[in-house]
Amino acid sequence: MRMWGGRFEGISDERMAEFTRSIDFDDVLAIDDIAGSIAHVHGLGRAGLLTPDEVETIVAGLEGLRHDVAAGKLTWDPALEDIHMNLEVALRERIGSLAGKVHTGRSRNDQVATDMRLWLRRTIDGLDRAVVEMERALVGLAVRDGEAILPGMTHIQPAQPVLFAHHLLAYVEMFERDRGRLSDCRRRANVSPLGSGALAGAGYPLDREATAAELGFDGVTANSLDGVSDRDFVVEAMAAIALSMVHLSRLAEEITWWSNPRFGFVRVSDSFSTGSSMMPNKKNPDPAELVRGKSARVIGELTGMLTLLKGLPLAYQKDMQDDKPPLFDAAATLEASLLVMAGMVATLAVNRERMRAAAGEGFTTATAVADALVRRGVAFRAAHHIVGALVAEAERAGVALDALDDATIAATLAGSDDAVAAAVGADAAVAAALREAAALEGAMAACDVTGGTAPRRVAAALAAARTRLGV
Ligand code: ARG
């Protein structure tokens, strides 16, 4: 018997039934659906629509179902279309026809909207824990290899030296924003649509606020049409999830480069690498590559969800049933990606010598040398030009900037058409000062602003992150 079958003659076409059912994927909502039903039944009792005895019997039946779901003892009947009808029939098998009163003043439309919000709430809590684990791995590595120096890049070209810890903390910033976005989404999602009915509002004097409070919602949706058809919270969650995947993907991309022997900055642990079926030499950072790949799928899911909604008139449309596979997949993908990347990052072996050598290649301290001239009164534009000439000299001589000799430095300054620079060049101590500025440590120490890579600034940022994350 179809639960909505009163006006129907004949049976459903098998293709139609198979095409329209959602039980293949909405069974994950079972515990949320039961929680919603228990609160709704309490509300029906308060409204005098169920006697105290009826409430007690139904709630006991629902508690029994909850127990069976947790124990994996319930099986779902595809013929019953979705999780809501499966649970209603399971309740009837347990307590008899009294189960037929549960759906008083409720539609599957406000029911599924409630379930989705409850599901999202607990899922976001789980994702938050996974993001924190990722952050802890980054912070742990920053502590362990706090002295390592990385060639900071722009345009994928050597730019300026930065502490490796500074680079890792940049990702911690991204993940903290991800946490903020998820918690914003959770806050907006945490209102109850129950009582919206099919679309116009329930036809009984239900105390929606009391039912919402019982479910831990902060309030109720203000408009019944919106209550059943709003899926903004799904889009918001998926946007936050997709962006977090993009952050992971950027990190994954860096790890693939860093672990390439040409760079040799890090070694990915064997436990997070795979081999080749043909090339015995191979060791591949597969998890990082897959995170990069899966981020594409999650971005597609977000796009799909936005597209699903854009043409929908009010109120509920069956299209909305298809919000579930992409949302469930996106959340599961992010959680798995965070956990595998946390493991990979925590077990990276850093080669500080290789990193340091690369950090000095490409005259990455040139900006610091120019800044040292500016501190002696030279205009920045003139200093930029002079140091450019010094870089050209060093390149010709095949040496690093901090290995240029006194004579070359003095001659370059003397040859400048900037009067101040020429005067500065006459000071015998200047060459040594410029070489000092050209050393990696000197260059980093000079970036001594809030958020800069000066070691003392990074140490403070790291200490703050450790306090926040309890590591
Ligand atoms: N399985 C449906 C969904 O996920 C439940 C709501 C069905 N409502 C309806 N009027 N057919 O959207």
pLDDT in tens, 334-374: 999 999 999 999 999 999 999 999 999 999 999 999 999 99
pLDDT one-digit tens code per residue, 19-40: 999 999 999 999 999 999 999 9
Question: Which residue has the CA at smallest separation from atom 11 of ligand 1?
Answer: 318
**What is the average pLDDT across 277-288?**
93
Is the same domain home to 175 and 245? yes
| Number of structural domains the chain divides into | 3
Hey, what long-range contacts does 384-390 have (CB within 8 A, 24 or more apart)? 385/416, 385/418, 386/412, 386/413, 386/416, 386/418, 386/421, 389/415, 390/366, 390/434
Atom of ligand 1 nearest to the CA of 316: 10
CATH code at position 64: 1.10.275.10
Cα–Cα–Cα angle for 244, 299, 81, nearest 5°?
A: 110
In a domain, 444, yes or no: yes
| Other C-beta atoms lying within 10 Å of the C-beta of residue 288 | 28
Is the same domain home to 286 and 368? no
Q: Say yes or no to pLDDT of 427 above 90.
A: no
Is the same domain home to 256 and 323? yes
What integer pLDDT is reported at residue 1 of this predicted model? 61
Q: What's the token pair of residue 456?
A: 């003392």
Q: What's the token pair of residue 234?
A: 């799904």
Of the three residues 73, 104, 135, the one that is the final residue of a domain is 104
Give distance in angstroms: CA of 368 to centre of ligand 1: 63
Is the same domain home to 167 and 274? yes
Question: Which residue has the CA at smallest separation from atom 7 of ligand 1?
Answer: 108
Which residues' Cβ are closer than 6 Å to ligand 1? 22, 26, 82, 108-109, 112, 316, 318, 320-321
CATH code at position 154: 1.20.200.10
Is the same domain home to 131 and 224? yes
In a domain, 187, yes or no: yes
Using CA atoms, how far apart are residues 369 and 25, in angstroms rounded to an integer? 61
Atom of ligand 1 nearest to the CA of 83: 1
Mutate to test the pocket of ligand 1, among 76, 115, 321, 323 (most ligand atoms within 8 A of CB): 321
**What is the average pLDDT across 116-137?**
98
**What is the average pLDDT across 78-100?**
97
Is the same domain home to 318 and 367? no
Question: Cis omega before residue 315 (within 30°)?
Answer: yes
Give distance in angstroms: CA of 318 to centre of ligand 1: 6
Using CA atoms, how far apart are residues 97 and 450, in angstroms rounded to an integer? 68
Using CA atoms, how far apart are residues 257 and 275, in angstroms rounded to an integer? 17
Give distance in angstroms: CA of 294 to centre of ligand 1: 29
Of the three residues 324, 357, 390, the one that is the final residue of a domain is 357
Give distance in angstroms: CA of 59 to centre of ligand 1: 23
What integer pLDDT is reported at residue 3 of this predicted model? 81
Question: Binning pLDDT at 50, 70 and 90, where does residue 425 land?
Answer: confident
Is the same domain home to 145 and 194? yes
What integer pLDDT is reported at residue 38 of this predicted model? 98
CATH code at position 437: 1.10.40.30
**What is the average pLDDT across 381-392?**
96
**What is the average pLDDT across 155-184?**
97
Of the three residues 89, 104, 119, the one that is the final residue of a domain is 104
Q: Say yes or no to pLDDT of 242 above 80.
A: yes
Give distance in angstroms: CA of 327 to centre of ligand 1: 16
Full-model pTM: 0.96
**What is the average pLDDT across 435-439?**
93
Question: Which residue has the CA at smallest separation from atom 3 of ligand 1?
Answer: 321
276 is catalytic: yes
Question: Which residue has the CA at smallest separation from atom 2 of ligand 1?
Answer: 321
In a domain, 126, yes or no: yes
Q: Say yes or no to pLDDT of 139 above 90.
A: yes
In a domain, 294, yes or no: yes
155 is catalytic: yes
Mutate to test the pocket of ligand 1, among 111, 231, 318, 324 (most ligand atoms within 8 A of CB): 318
In a domain, 275, yes or no: yes
Which of these is catalytic: 276, 277, 295, 385? 276
Atom of ligand 1 nearest to the CA of 320: 12
In a domain, 213, yes or no: no
Which of these is catalytic: 155, 167, 192, 224? 155
Mutate to test the pocket of ligand 1, among 12, 21, 109, 225 (most ligand atoms within 8 A of CB): 109
Question: Binning pLDDT at 50, 70 and 90, where does residue 397 land?
Answer: very high
Give distance in angstroms: CA of 211 to centre of ligand 1: 21
Give distance in angstroms: CA of 19 to centre of ligand 1: 13
Is the same domain home to 120 and 43? no
What integer pLDDT is reported at residue 9 of this predicted model? 87
Is the same domain home to 123 and 201? yes
Question: Cis omega before residue 210 (within 30°)?
Answer: no
Crossing angle of the two packed helices 324-346 and 108-144, in degrees rounded to 10: 10
Using CA atoms, how far apart are residues 80 and 122, in angstroms rounded to an integer? 26
| Other C-beta atoms lying within 10 Å of the C-beta of residue 126 | 12
In a domain, 8, yes or no: no
What integer pLDDT is reported at residue 116 of this predicted model? 98
Q: Is 137 exposed, middle or buried (0-12, 13-18, 19+ CB in 10 A)?
A: buried
Is the same domain home to 348 and 309? yes
Is the same domain home to 307 and 347? yes
Torsion, CA 193, CA 196, CA 198, CA 200, rounded to 10? -140
**What is the average pLDDT across 48-56?**
98
In a domain, 179, yes or no: yes
Is the same domain home to 194 and 323? yes
Contact 22, 81 (CB under 8 A): yes
- Give the whole-number percent of the chain exceeding pLDDT 70: 100
Mean pLDDT for all residues in the chain: 96
Domain of residue 41: give its range.
14-104
**What is the average pLDDT across 452-460?**
98
Give distance in angstroms: CA of 38 to centre of ligand 1: 19
Closest-CA residue to 27 (of 64, 61, 68): 68
